Amino acid sequence: MQAVVLAAGESSRFWPLNQNHKSLLKMMGKPLIWYTLKELEKSGINDIIVVQGPEKEIEKELTGFPGLKFVIQPRPEGMGDALSKAKKFLKGRFLVLNAERVDVGEIISKTEGNKQKSLLFGQKTKTPELFGIAKIKGSRVLGIVEKPKKGKNPSDIRVLGVYLLSPDFFKTYEKTKKEKYDFEKALSSYVKANPTDIVIFGKSDSPSLKYPWDLFSFQKYLFDRFLKHKNHSKAKTKGNVYIGKNVKIFENAVIKGPCYIGDDSIIGNNAVVREYSNLEKGTLIGANAEVARCIFQENVHIHSGFFGDSVFDKGCRIGAGTVTANLRIDRNSVKSSVKGEKIDTGLKSLGVIMGQNSKTGINASLMPGVLIGKNSMIGPATVVLENVPDDTRVFTQFKTEVRRIK
């Protein structure tokens, strides 16, 4: 079997973390696509074609996979267009999957002994309006409805981002009108003409990376399966904690696992890092800071303050006393605005998600579910209540009055 890994596209719903392809975000020192490729290798699939963008950022990042073939999708024109770029390399049945499908090994295990030329994989969902939904009879797929309106979904089974197809799929695709969802439309036509079963993947924790806060489910999935304990002689740790090379941990700092502390990081005096926190290489946690359930990419520096359920992309600099509010006052689930639409994240705890190289001054307050773009600046004592675009400055204006005391 061959595999086509799709790693192109702009991922607009993943802003502000879409400066690079979302599969290049790191967990435990490796990009997400690395885990996907490893799972393919473990499943015996070594003939892998990776479809990437014209910047070739995927190819530049990956090492240790000498057998990979790379093809380029010049423009982000949808999944069908991306797949067609790999057509010339395909000889027989092949898997199509998104680059961040880190659980593909578990999915492939469901195909053992199955001789059908095409298979789909699905999972129950409570939000069918967000996904492609399978119309099914028994185990047979009769069609796919893309993002059905509420109450109009043909089933509660969403199609996962993994497909087992035959090269004759391209005959159907070539007859399909080319548009944003032409792959899904071609697939729906193909399964009507070619007997195709769906394998229901019953586990509820199968991760899907649609919005930036979905990274938390990926973090839990990967930590629970792959995090390996590696202690530091001077560190006060509890639970499963990995501490990398050249990490400096100062007096009275506490790390409560599961946590990953990347190489060359610094944890200051009296700091607390706890509960599913991933700190990539070169992270600096200042004295007296508390970090809970956070994802920091490389070279993020924070000082004192509270940081909960938040994501900081590469190079962010956070001033002393900054606080990320991660709970609503009414304790309802946090909503976030994506492309002008309010989305219920389904999370009771969600802090800030900040793009590359953004900064805050001292005592900034960042409200639950706020998204802050790359290269932006939040002034001192500023309260951020709504999203901040890329390359933007947000400052609270103060008027200082000075009077002599008689």
Region 375-395: mean pLDDT is: 96
Note the pTM of the prediction, 2 decimals: 0.92
Question: Do 90 and 181 belong together in one domain?
Answer: yes
C-beta separation of 292 from 310 below 8 A:
no
Question: Do 156 and 189 belong together in one domain?
Answer: yes
Q: Which of 192, 211, 230 is the last residue of a domain?
A: 211
Would residue 405 count as lying in a domain?
no
Distance in angstroms (rounded) separating the CA atoms of residues 225 and 211? 22
Distance in angstroms (rounded) separating the CA atoms of residues 128 and 146? 9
Q: Which of 196, 211, 226 is the last residue of a domain?
A: 211
Smallest CA-to-CA distance from 207 within 222, 191, 196, 193 is with 222
Question: Do 245 and 206 belong together in one domain?
Answer: no
pLDDT-derived band at 231, boundaries 50, 70, 90? confident
pLDDT-derived band at 324, boundaries 50, 70, 90? very high
CATH number at residue 148: 3.90.550.10
pLDDT at 406: 65
pLDDT at 228: 92
Distance in angstroms (rounded) separating the CA atoms of residues 197 and 163? 11
Quick one: angle between helices 32-42 and 215-226, nearest 10?
A: 50
Question: Do 160 and 244 belong together in one domain?
Answer: no
* Sequence letter at residue 399: K
pLDDT at 161: 80
Question: Do 230 and 136 belong together in one domain?
Answer: no
pLDDT at 265: 97
Secondary structure (3-state) at 209: coil
Question: Do 148 and 48 belong together in one domain?
Answer: yes
pLDDT at 233: 59
Average pLDDT, the chain: 91
Question: Do 205 and 219 belong together in one domain?
Answer: no
Q: What are the pLDDT digits (tens) for 59-98?
A: 999 877 877 999 999 988 889 999 999 999 999 899 999 9
Question: Do 90 and 219 belong together in one domain?
Answer: no
Which residue segment(s) compose the domain that 164 sits in? 2-211
pLDDT-derived band at 208, boundaries 50, 70, 90? confident
Question: Do 196 and 226 belong together in one domain?
Answer: no
pLDDT at 399: 66
In the beta sheet, which residues pair with residue 302?
285, 318
Percent of the chain with pLDDT over 90: 67
Would residue 34 count as lying in a domain?
yes
Question: Do 358 and 329 belong together in one domain?
Answer: yes
Would residue 402 count as lying in a domain?
no
Distance in angstroms (rounded) separating the CA atoms of residues 262 and 310? 17
Would residue 399 count as lying in a domain?
no
Question: Do 336 and 367 belong together in one domain?
Answer: yes
333 has a pLDDT exceeding 60: yes
Would residue 406 count as lying in a domain?
no
Q: Where are the alpha helices (DSSP H) in 196-308?
A: 215-226
pLDDT-derived band at 203, boundaries 50, 70, 90? low
* Strand 341-344, strand 335-338: pairing: antiparallel
Tell which phi-psi region holds residue 184, choosing left (phi > 0), alpha (psi between -120 and 50) or beta. Answer: alpha
C-beta separation of 274 from 285 below 8 A:
no
Instruction: Say which range, 46-50, 276-280, 294-298, has the weakest mean pLDDT.
Output: 46-50
In the beta sheet, which residues pair with residue 290?
272, 306
Region 152-162: mean pLDDT is: 88
Q: What are the pLDDT digits (tens) for 235-281?
A: 788 999 999 999 999 999 999 999 999 999 999 999 999 999 999 99
* For the chain, the helix, strand and coil percentages under 3-state DSSP, each to the nearest 5: 20, 30, 50
Tell which phi-psi region holds residue 78, choosing left (phi > 0), alpha (psi between -120 and 50) or beta. Answer: left
Sign of CA dihedral 137, 142, 147, 152: negative
Distance in angstroms (rounded) separating the CA atoms of residues 49 and 87? 10
CATH number at residue 365: 2.160.10.10
66 Cβ contact list (under 8 Å, min separation 6): none
pLDDT-derived band at 400, boundaries 50, 70, 90? low
307 has a pLDDT exceeding 80: yes
Q: What are the pLDDT digits (tens) for 111-128?
A: 776 677 789 988 888 888
Smallest CA-to-CA distance from 50 within 86, 104, 77 is with 86
Question: Do 199 and 242 belong together in one domain?
Answer: no
pLDDT-derived band at 200, boundaries 50, 70, 90? confident
Q: Which of 211, 231, 250 is the last residue of a domain?
A: 211
Q: Where are the alpha helices (DSSP H) in 64-122?
A: 79-84, 104-108
